[in-house]
A and B are shown apart, each in its own frame.
Chain A
Amino acid sequence: MHEFSLARAAKETILSLNCNRIIVYIGQIQQIDIDLFKNALLSELNGMDVNVSFQEVKAKFKCNVCANEFYYDEIDLSEEEKEDIHFLPESIHIFVKCPKCFSNDFKIVEGRGVFIEKCETK
């Protein structure tokens, strides 16, 4: 599962920051198995003095043509389409159009990627 590769990347980031308290923000569009990712990351951090909490960020889009804003939860996707987006979120431009003007020129403004925030440095 590629949750493990993301967990390793998160671990390397935490190591580089020398933190002892962090929040991991997980973008909804990634459709990551949150429990799997959490367990993988905590396993990678085994023995380290780091307090980790997790928060999911809802995915939101904004059309570059008409400025309409819409949400991932409003979109109807097949399982195959969700799978492709799970690995490569930008492939959403193939499957989704702005519900107002039907353009596929929109921006993912929130809920993409895995980020680390609120680090308390040791």
Chain B
Amino acid sequence: MIDIRVEGIKKNLENKKIIVICGSKGGVGKSTLTFLLSLVFSRFVKVGVCDLDFTGSSLHIIFNSTSTFKEEDGIVLPEVLKNVFLLSVNFFSKDNPLALRGEEITDVFLELLTITNWKDINLLLFDTPPTLTDPILDIFRFLPKAEFWVVSSNSILSFHTTLKFVKLLKEMKKEIPILFVNRIFENDVKEMDVYEELAKNFEKVVFVPFIKDLESFYIDPYKLFDLEITLFNELQYLFTQFLRKEVS
């Protein structure tokens, strides 16, 4: 028996640029980074943000959104910020716990990506759960052209596990142009050999500074641009150098 969603997802996403925000450990800042990237990139193009952490979805909280979808030739995503459209399993689970086993996660993945009406959204950011779990394997299987932007914290533990993660991505011949290092700890990465070994796998490394009281900006995220940090210029550079030609 042939699942119609496999061809459906292929057709539905055929002209979309998909960036997978991934990492080997929990709490390294994948969701936060997805949020920050969407904030910057949405100045240039419409961005679809997909929360693939189905059992621990949190992007709707970061975007401070209680909005849900409309039904119009598929599900039409709510615009949670100007030019940012969110796809979240929380539309259906409504903050209830949703425990899923392996195949069910794949079913949710295929179902949501088949029935979503992306309209003219051409850049998709996929926020994923930590480690090499089903959503990552499903992306390998069903979305072979997706690009992986890797997130680590600045800890030895995170660097070591990320190195293993990157090894698999390279074996799968995946594009991994960018490493984000979240400065969560007071560590100097230059003293870590494992960091050097990890960093050489990427075209670009972006250090994400610790942003004090970040969660207070969820209500009005545009106030983040008032902070005197170079991060947003760096993220804008990423769009210009890596994405502009493909999505504009």
Contact = CB atoms under 8 A, between A and B. Distances in A.
B108 A90 contact: yes
Contacts of A84: 92-94
B4 A116 contact: yes
B229 interface: no
B8 A88 contact: no
Given A5-B115, A88-B89, A117 B2 contact: yes
B92 A6 contact: no
Interface string A88-122: 11110110000000001101100011111101000
A119 B92 CA distance: 34
B100 interface: yes
B75 A12 contact: no
A15 B71 CA distance: 26
Contact of B108 (A15, A88, A107): A88
B175 interface: no
Chain B, interface size: which category?
35 or more
Contact of B92 (A5, A16, A87, A116): A87
B107 interface: yes
B114 A5 contact: yes
Given A5-B12, A89-B107, A93-B100, A25 B1 contact: yes
Contacts of B5: 9, 113-114
Contact of B74 (A5, A104, A115): A5
Contact of A91 (B74, B75, B92): B92
A5 B75 CA distance: 9
B8 A113 contact: no
| Max chain B C-beta neighbours (<10 A), residue from A6, A12, A15, A116 | A12
A91 B1 CA distance: 24
Contact of B8 (A12, A17, A104): A12
B100 A5 contact: no
Interface in B147-179: none
Interface of B: 1-12, 71, 73-75, 89, 91-94, 96-101, 104, 107-108, 111-112, 114-117
Given A5-B73, A6-B4, A108-B104, 10 more contacts: A2-B115, A6-B8, A88-B108, A88-B111, A89-B111, A93-B100, A113-B5, A113-B107, A115-B2, A115-B4
